[in-house]
Structure 1
Amino acid sequence: LKAAVSSDPLFVVETCELDRGGVSYTVDTLDHLLAAHPMEGKPGLVIGDDLASGFPFWRDPDGIVARADIILARRSGGMPDAFAYPCRFASNLLIPVSSTLVRQRVAVGGAWRHLVPDGVAAYIDTQGLYGLA
């Protein structure tokens, strides 16, 4: 992730979920972020449309909505008909690239560098990931 966003000053990688260890819940991560990075208003929490139907079963969905503005982004090609929580819909393009596709292309020597940020391509190269020799 650091390699993917390193060239954009608008992004910061927060490792609190890794540092905390164990099971991680979005509501706890939001509590940490809000305490560590005070801000005016609420942060936006982008959730893929593929996760929307399961959102009511997340730990404390009402608490999540109280702490963050939910933004639903297209991943699967179709937005849910109904979402029981206040949200906005992202107007993102649906790009058919997945980590699985990248790993498969690297493994078989196919074209893949155009699918990832330059920093990620460099990391895959230097670490010899996915069968890259």
Structure 2
Amino acid sequence: MRMEPIVRYGIKSRFDNVCALCGAPTSVGDRIYKLPDKRGGRKWVCAACRWEDEERVIDLPFVLRKVDHRMGVGPYTPNLAELQVILGAARGVVLETDDEVFLFELLDQCLEARRPRILSRAKMSTLLDVLRRAAE
């Protein structure tokens, strides 16, 4: 099966927008890529989300931006590097509710099994609360 040129080579953005996956801002002239049909099809993403970038820094501000962005567009599945950042940030925060405790036990199990789970908007909201407290 042949890859579409727009998927492989992308286009120059015609207006300022954000990446559909990570929420990173894209400016006019930045190269953006259409995701392949098997990964979502109609979404436009930045180069770092389209092609694996080993030098991409995955830190707390990145994860916060990504989760906040995903709240508006649908579910979020953290990758293993993001799970490590999330769990590392949560170590310094007091978990206040049973939902927070349950969520972080679930995320810890996911990291241990190396199988991330899809998080609903309710779980993303709980996650955002904890991550924002960790960022303070």
Q: What TM-score, normalized by structure 2, do the two folds share?
A: 0.26
Structure label with greater radius of gyration? 1
Larger relative contact order (C-alpha < 8 A, sep ≥ 6)? Answer: 1
Q: What TM-score, normalized by structure 1, do the two folds share?
A: 0.26
